[in-house]
Amino acid sequence: MSDSPAPNRNTLWARTLVEELDAAGVEAVCIAPGSRSTPLTVAFAEHPEIRVFSHLDERSAAFFALGRAKRTGKPTPLVCTSGTAAANFHPAVIEASQSRVPMLVLTADRPPELRDSGANQTIDQQKLYGDSVRWYADLPEPEPEGRKLRSLRTTAARALSESTGTPPGPVHLNVPFRKPLEPVEVPGDVPESLADEAPLGAAGRTESDGSRRPFVRTAQGRPELAESEMEAVREAVESADRGLLVAGPADAPSPEREALADFAAATGFPILADPLSGHRFGHAGETPVLGGYDGYLESVGESWPDPDLVVRFGASPTSKVLRRYLEASDARQFLVDPAGGWREATFTATDLLAADPTRFARRIASGLDSSGSEGSGSDESGGESPETASWRERFAAAEEDYWRVVESAREERLFEGGVLSAVAEDAPDPATVMVSNSMPVRDLDRFGRPRAADLTVLGNRGASGIDGITSTGLGAGSATDDPLVLVTGDLAYYHDMNGLLAVARCGVDATVVEINNDGGGIFHMLPIEEFDPPFTEQFRTPHGLDYEPTGDLYGLDFERVADLESFRSAFEASVESAGTQVIEVATDAERSHRFREEVGDRVAERLE
């Protein structure tokens, strides 16, 4: 931040806003170039502590910011000019809202008198994202006035607080500016007396050592149940013999890994861990993490007893098999959600607990440890009944069988599931792994074996779009030094091809696994496959694109592999090297689907 006096009110205004964002912990910003946003862009660019990621396509910029926030838990503000630029943020804003990712959108706007006046590049930006934002504010016109500047500083703190609240999500500040937009000297525009007359508004707050502190420090409480409510839950847990802990999608493990492991240890209940839950990977071996359920639950449904209690965390699981399994049981089902969201579309849950998941899990675990009849805090399976032990072992045995089938099947022929199986096994520890909708996340769900490796697996499952997969991955990759693995399909690769520009412009290295089945392979899983036409032309939509030129266009190494072995060696080489490599695996969607079904049949046979 420049120490020189602001040459005009717009510079002052934008610097003040940026100063507060920095004070509140913002470390980076995504900026798409434009004229109206000049004061913001200049203020961010001249700030020494804030890293600027410059993007040319606002849609990709917003998904990049989304990815960074998924990985860091903190918003990376977005800046754009007036007009449809702001509308290009909309898909990512919706994804952020639905998947509860902090985001701060700063849209520059024309001054109020030019709205709906026919002025150029002027649209109605007010409440542009409707109900998809946690908070919206139309900032007042910049003015070097004490109360206004204090309101601006407060607004910055509030915007960040709202975006990281419960649940986190997008916040939209619409920021009008009147010319001059550049930091040109406008004599008298910012009175020299401002610092004396309105010291708080002009300078904000500093610590005693001179460093900046936020104008308003915010502390956000998180919902906790009363002890009597907890006791009721504990009783239900204790009286259950066949409990299941279901960890649905959540960008950061929720509950935290240790807390969920304690819960599992205290109850003896296995954990059904969605690939996006943060629990499929990263748990120590003794924690009963299950990952194959999508492949075998359908086969065992009849022959096994039903669960009698389910505790669900996170969003609705990716696995339709699991959702149906839960729907079919008449177990008591607790949904634990800090935001009190009713994210359970089978409508069979019996209890909604609006409570912080980590604290909830810890309180259950510690309460059971101290109150359990066995009474030993060091007894990891707490007050576990023999039936619970056999229930857990039943799952453990099914997993063993299942993974044996999968690992043998993937050697037989190249199919999409085998690629995800290999990615899960071979991804470096630690790594960030971004998986696309629609098939990669499903294949990782079914074929990604749990590992202790610290993999942060991310996906856009809020709205399950394929519109910003590459950018989300690269944004997540930009946030840490962990190697980045991006697994995408050919349609998602095409949809967000512009996002590849971030490889060079934002300096992100990645291993991009592009599974190319020339169109929408997922449609082979749907009944429309039987109706051709229009199946091929309107659903599978083969495009015939040869993506090799995208290597030249974006400065990537592009390699094609035709079998699993070459894939694995290309993958290994890539994750160990600098730069970005695209490894294209050409698959046949139909054959992959058939083989996926065949593996399912083998599993069923084996389990019978």
- What residues between 173 and 202 interact with a copy of itself by CB under 8 A? 180-184
CB of 193 to a copy of itself, least distance (A): 26
Contacts of 35 (CB under 8 A, 6+ apart): 81, 181
Nearer to a copy of itself, 118 or 285 (CB): 118
Q: Binding segment for a copy of itself among 100-108, 144-152, 403-411, 539-547 (CB under 8 A)?
A: 539-547
Using alpha carbons only, what angle is made at residue 314 by residues 170 and 357, rounded to the nearest 5 degrees? Answer: 100
- Taking CB atoms within 8 Å and a gap of at least 24, the contacts of 147-150 are 147/198, 147/201, 148/201, 149/12, 149/16, 149/198, 149/201, 149/202, 150/200, 150/201, 150/215
Least distance CB 549 / a copy of itself (angstroms): 4
Beta partners for residue 488, in sequence order: 514
> What is the maximal distance between C-alpha atoms in the chain?
85
- Minimum gap (Å) between residue 447 Cβ and a copy of itself: 19
Return contacts of 214-221, CB within 8 angstroms, 24+ apart: 214/20, 214/23, 214/24, 214/157, 215/20, 215/23, 215/150, 215/153, 215/154, 215/156, 215/157, 216/153, 216/154, 216/157, 216/158, 217/157, 218/157, 218/158, 218/160, 218/161, 220/161, 220/164, 220/165, 220/166
Contacts 24+ apart (CB under 8 A), 372-380: 372/238, 372/266, 380/265, 380/266, 380/286
Within 123-142, the residues that bind a copy of itself by CB under 8 A are 123-124, 127-128, 130-132
Nearest distance from C-beta of residue 31 to a copy of itself, angstroms: 6
Q: Check residue 537 for interaction with a copy of itself (CB under 8 A).
A: yes
Residue closer to a copy of itself by CB (options 53, 360) is 53
Q: Please state, in angstroms and as integers, the Cα–Cα distance from residue 78 to each residue in 31, 188, 570, 576, following that order.
A: 6, 31, 35, 32
Contact letters for a copy of itself, residues 78-97 (x by CB under 8 A) = -----xxx-xx-xx-xxx--
Rounded Cα gap, residues 224 and 273, in angstroms: 24
Q: How many CA atoms lie within 13 A of 210 on its CB side?
A: 0
Count interface residues toward a copy of itself (CB under 8 A): 90
- Tell me which of 271, 276, 315, 364 binds a copy of itself, using CB under 8 A: 315
The residue range among 225-233, 374-382, 394-402, 458-466 that interacts with a copy of itself, by the rule CB under 8 A, is 458-466
Site for a copy of itself in 3-62 (CB under 8 A): 31, 33, 35, 38, 41-42, 45-46, 52, 54, 56-59
Q: Which residues contact 96 (CB under 8 A, 6 or more apart)?
A: 66, 69, 102, 103, 132, 169, 170, 462
Binding mask 476-515 for a copy of itself (x = CB under 8 A): ---------------x--xx-xx--x---x----------
Which residue is listed with tokens 């500040």? Answer: 173
Of 54 and 566, CB closest to a copy of itself: 54
| Tokens linked to 547 | 């993506």
Beta bridge partners of 516: 586
Smallest gap from Cβ 503 to a copy of itself, in A, equals: 12
CB-wise, 402 or 554, nearer to a copy of itself? Answer: 554
> Are 66 and 472 within 8 A, CB to CB?
yes
Of 234 and 524, nearer to a copy of itself (C-beta) is: 524
Q: Which is nearer to a copy of itself, 179 or 404 (CB)?
A: 179
Q: What is the 3-state secondary structure (H, E, C) of 281-319?
A: ECCCCCCCEECCHHHHHHHHCCCCCCCCEEEEECCCCCC
**523/567 with CB nearer a copy of itself:** 523
Figure out which of the listed residues 3, 4, 48, 120 binds a copy of itself, where binding follows CB under 8 A: 120
In the set 199, 526, 565, 594, which binds a copy of itself (CB under 8 A)? 526
- Percent helix / strand / coil, the chain, rounded to 5: 45, 15, 40
Part of the chain binding a copy of itself (CB under 8 A), chosen from 288-296, 420-428, 523-531, 582-590: 523-531
Q: Which two tokens stand for residue 79?
A: 């800046």
Least distance to a copy of itself, CB of residue 571, Å: 24
Vertex 26: Cα angle to 24 and 27 (nearest 5): 140
- Give me the amino acid identity at 385: S
Q: How many Cβ atoms from other residues are within 10 Å of residue 131's Cβ? A: 8
Backbone phi and psi for residue 347, each to the nearest 5 degrees, phi listed first? 55, 45
Find the shortest distance in angstroms from Cβ 52 to a copy of itself. Answer: 7
Of 203-262, binders to a copy of itself (CB under 8 A) are none
Among residues 345, 373, 386, 578, which is the contact residue for a copy of itself, using CB under 8 A?
345
Toward a copy of itself, which CB reaches closer, 199 or 555?
555
375 lies in the site for a copy of itself, by CB under 8 A:
no
**Distance (Å, whole) CA 184 – CA 10:** 10
What's the closest the beta carbon of residue 507 comes to a copy of itself, in angstroms? 13
Q: Which is nearer to a copy of itself, 368 or 457 (CB)?
A: 457
Three-state DSSP class for residue 351: strand
72 vs 498 by CB, closer to a copy of itself: 498
Interface pick for a copy of itself out of 206, 218, 390, 538 (rule CB under 8 A): 538
Q: Which is nearer to a copy of itself, 26 or 414 (CB)?
A: 26
- Least distance to a copy of itself, CB of residue 123, Å: 5
* Strands 205-206 and 212-213, sheet pairing: antiparallel
- Rounded least distance, CB 520 to a copy of itself, Å: 6
Q: Which of 186, 528, 573, 607 binds a copy of itself (CB under 8 A)?
A: 528
For a copy of itself, the closer CB: 57 or 384:
57
Among 186, 252, 352, 545, binds a copy of itself (CB under 8 A): 545
Report, in Å, the least distance between residue 522 CB and a copy of itself.
8
Q: What is the DSSP letter of 433?
A: E
For 545-581, give the DSSP string.
Answer: ---HHHHHHHT-EEEEE-SHHHHHHHHHHHHTSSS-E
Q: Give whichever of 113 and 330 is closer to a copy of itself, judged by the CB atom.
A: 113
Cβ of residue 203: shortest distance to a copy of itself, in angstroms?
Answer: 24
Q: How far is the CB of 605 from a copy of itself (least distance, A)?
A: 29
When the beta carbons of 316 and 511 are compared against a copy of itself, the nearer one is 316
Minimum CB distance to a copy of itself, residue 87 (Å): 4
